Structure 1
């Protein structure tokens, strides 16, 4: 009996990861991500899946980032009632990320309605905070390195992928086939997270390609961030740092704590973490000490040097402060959340700075800022960009092209096929070519909606 694999997201784009596996009348979804970035991609979130949610029997999550987990509340609201298997770290982070995602979508819809800025009357959220909270009841954490049955006769095993807390690769054994989903792979030299574990043997490998056409520069985050923030402090400006609440926020906070300790930055430089989600995620690190490189002293130093901003009123109060300061706020690609208010307030002043800390998917505000555009649209208004823009090349939490090849090469045997996924087309095709020429393995870049029979 055949096994089929359908690419419902994360194919030809770096967002919306969803891979549907069918066998013996059963259907399982690996990852359940939101599309972000370009409007045609975001519109896919509003279109029904080609499979009814009630006809999906189980979900496996590689990790908690919204481009891998953020569609789950919608799937559950529309009829999915099966189990969602993940690691304990992913369960803990989803409990933070998913309700926050629903809350932000409600806030954005309310703002558009209050100011009559939407073409739709009324503007609606994709899903609500309550939808997200209901979906959390479906999560079933499983330990890494221990096989389990997501469906009768199907076996799955998590191995650590680095990247963020709880991130895993998934080996799925079904119908006599071994399918390996890399998830998002971290860097072996990451400042924060431990290195990904080597891959197990598989017949088919789906490998991410976010940075498949790049090589990360030598050096650490501190080498780039230190001189930039020292310039900022000297001229009395405000740095707005859009961060991913999980992973990137903690990397930047740890880097700043180290820079202060070594004297590169003044210890008095105020640092604010204005993201309740990032605050909660940071507090999780102490409960998952085996997944990251920080000891308790480093965690406490990071906390001591940061003012945690919880309420909206506290966030608004940051605008009344004077003098140099650093404001970290979600989201990492400036697609929503409180960071938009900080950008609207500070982007127009040449003394200030916008620090971009990771991959900026095409079509996002972050990508437009990185490209040097002189203005961006926020809440229906054009906001001038006069602040210095710094894009960190060393802060990525993804393996680069060479590191992805090294991870594949560590496989006990060559797979019969490699599918290059979760990357913009240029990055995915560059990695496909490198796999074919360097490893001499059959490799392809699937298109959205493709189905493979294994």
Structure 2
């Protein structure tokens, strides 16, 4: 086999989620991240399909950080035959210890609910991608290492971590790969944090690379991030706006890890300073509860860690654990705030809270993070008048608000500055972890910064040989790519179908009598007959 290293992009290519990069050299194979696909149903179906590589042949897995779109398929990888080490930082290991079993539990619960509906509809029974027990078993293979210390994983590979400033324990991964004179130096950015992150220091990294793989989530956005005081004022304004409804609720879909803890710290500061009227603040997420405990243990490693510890002593803040405690929230009277996972409204207790409140005009939903294309969060953000949750149609009367000042990702100018600090990059920069407009935006910015850059926008499952003179794209295997580029990072037919069904129901409801409804239905039937459907 060739000793020239290669890289294949098995996820986060043309989309934000599903991070998974395979680096090969001869018969040695190392995987960077193994994340869950989120977004449209078409993309999420990739989670159930076999890996496009042989898990048993991997020498090592290296994780950039604990977020599920970077780690969420690790239990499946182990279940499918991988028995080697899984390297990460100590904080990432601690977070994965709570996040991966939670992911397995959510899959078990949601598949159980789906199968009850499938039985009623006469459809096939499905099985979860993995269970909580599978996740716990996979954790025995995790190995933690500190930042900036080289670790040899095989004759052809060694790596070290650099602080990425994105999340507790998050890292960029520097790799040296190759045999003899065919050695290459690569850096995988992971997710890069912004300059003003409450709990994180500025991202770091080496310079003088052969190849750079860089995230581009906000590659076309200049957020002009506010200061700490400005951020809290913006949050205060949102709370006060929502609190005008005395018996209303402010629902905040939030990632359970770091975003929730940042919100807690800021809400507690606003309460302490009298900026907002005291009200119950409920963290309705067992995962967020356990993640907060991890953050508390690592408080000394965090910037402003004492703010979180102080927030946890607030009398207004409480955590739910059991399903009964969660259900009891529905009985609350008076204005209250509920923070619940998941941040894109794709799973977890936030879906129950939305189902209970979206149809009420006294409710406010505050989106505080990135919403991937095709997710329920993005559909709400885009102004849907009705949505479907767990098979039920819910009209949207709640106020949908967005506050994008808690992002864990660097924006376009910050990404460009981070890349500039990594120069020189001898051969190429690969742009990943972004939807196509974001990738195009960062591409243009980097090209303007350095016209000599070779900038590559890889598609899903594409392979590149990392030669000493630049990259060579290889033809995909016959069964690849698993999805055509046009189907990655976009709404799919499932989204369009749900939207059409709800639009049809709306038109029928507004029709002026039985005859007009019959006309609408006859036209639809005629269109179906004409297409042969």
Q: TM-score surpassing 0.5?
A: yes
In structure 1, the residue matched to 2:269 is 258
2:283 counterpart of 1:292? no
1:186 to 186, 190, 193: 193
Q: Which runs of 5+ in 1 are unaligned?
A: none
Distance 1:449 1:297, change over 3 A: closer
For 2:170, the equivalent position in structure 1 comes to 167
2:214 pairs with 1:202: no
TM-score normalised over the length of structure 2: 0.83
For residues 378 and 390 of structure 2, the distance between their equivalents in structure 1, rounded to whole angstroms, comes to 17
State the TM-score, normalized to the length of structure 1.
0.97
**Matched residue SS, 1:226:** helix
Distance in 2 between residues matched to 1:443 and 1:118, nearest whole Å: 49
- CA contact 1:217–1:394 (8 Å) conserved in 2: no
Match of 2:106 among 104, 116, 130: 104
Q: Structure 1, residues 131-170: CA drift from partner, whole Å, max 9, x if none?
A: 1111111100011111111223411010000111110000
Aligned counterparts of 2:305 and 2:40: Cα–Cα separation in 1: 39
The Cα shift of 1:119 comes to 7.2
Change (3 A) 1:279 1:303: farther
Other-structure match for 1:214: 221
CA radius of gyration, larger in: 2
Q: Secondary structure at the match of 1:171?
A: strand
Report the secondary structure of 1:437's partner residue: helix
Q: Which moved more, 1:152-161 or 1:218-227?
A: 218-227
Q: Secondary structure at the match of 2:151?
A: coil
Q: Which moved more, 1:233-242 or 1:314-323?
A: 233-242
Listed one character per residue, the Cα deviations across residues 99-150 of structure 1 (whole Å, up to 9, x for unaligned) are: 0001001100111223447774213211111111111111000111111112
- Which digits, 9 at most, give the CA deviation of each residue in 1:156-209, with x for residues without a partner? 010000111110000000111001000000011112322211443311000000
* Cα distance in 2, alignment partners of residues 185 and 290 from structure 1: 21
Aligned to 2:237: 227
Structure 2 match to 1:42:
44
- Alignment coverage as a number of residue pairs: 453
Q: Residue 354 of structure 1 aligns with which residue?
A: 365
CA distance in 2 between counterparts of 1:189 and 1:257 reads 19
Alpha-carbon offset, residue 295 of structure 1: 3.5
Q: What is residue 309 of structure 1 aligned with on the other side?
A: 320
Residue 415 of structure 1 aligns to a residue in which SS? strand
The SS at the match of 1:45 is: helix
Q: Is the 8 A contact 1:171 1:200 kept in 2?
A: no
String of CA shifts for 1:12-56, please: whole Å, max 9, x gaps: 000001000001201110000011011111111122122111112
Distance 1:381 1:68 in 2: 31
Distance 1:169 1:118 in 2: 47
Separation (CA, whole Å) in 2 of partners of 1:303 and 1:425:
44
Match of 2:22 in 1: 20
1:243 lines up with 2:254 in the alignment: yes
Contact 1:32 1:69 in 2 (8 A): yes
1:251-400 alignment to 2 at 5 Å? 251-266=262-277, 268-296=278-306, 298-304=308-314, 305-400=316-411
* Contact 1:419–1:445 (Cα < 8 Å) also in 2: yes
Conserved? CA contact 2:284–2:349, under 8 Å? yes
Is the Cα–Cα contact under 8 Å of residues 78 and 138 in structure 2 kept in the other structure?
yes
CA distance in 1, matches of 2:308, 2:47: 39
Matched residue SS, 2:152: coil
Root-mean-square deviation over aligned CA pairs: 1.5
Q: Residues 235-275 of structure 1: CA distance to partner in whole angstroms, max 9, x if unpaired?
A: 22101111101111111111111211222211x21100011
C-alpha change, 1:63 and 1:78, in structure 2 (3 Å) is same
Deviates most, 317-326 or 284-293: 284-293
- Answer with 438-447 or 119-128: which moved more: 119-128
CA distance in 2, matches of 1:296, 1:401: 30
| SS of residue in 2 equivalent to 1:369 | helix
Maintained 8 Å contact 1:20/1:28: yes
CA deviation vs aligned residue, 1:266-305 (integer Å, no higher than 9, x gap): 1x21100011111111111233235422232542224424
Q: CA deviation at 1:96?
A: 0.8
Q: Deviations 1:311-362 (Å, cap 9, x if unpaired)? A: 1110001101101000111100000111111000011111111011100000
- The answer for the alignment partner of 2:4 in structure 1 is 2
Q: Alignment partner of 2:372: what SS? A: coil
Partner Cα distance (1:166, 1:152) in 2: 27
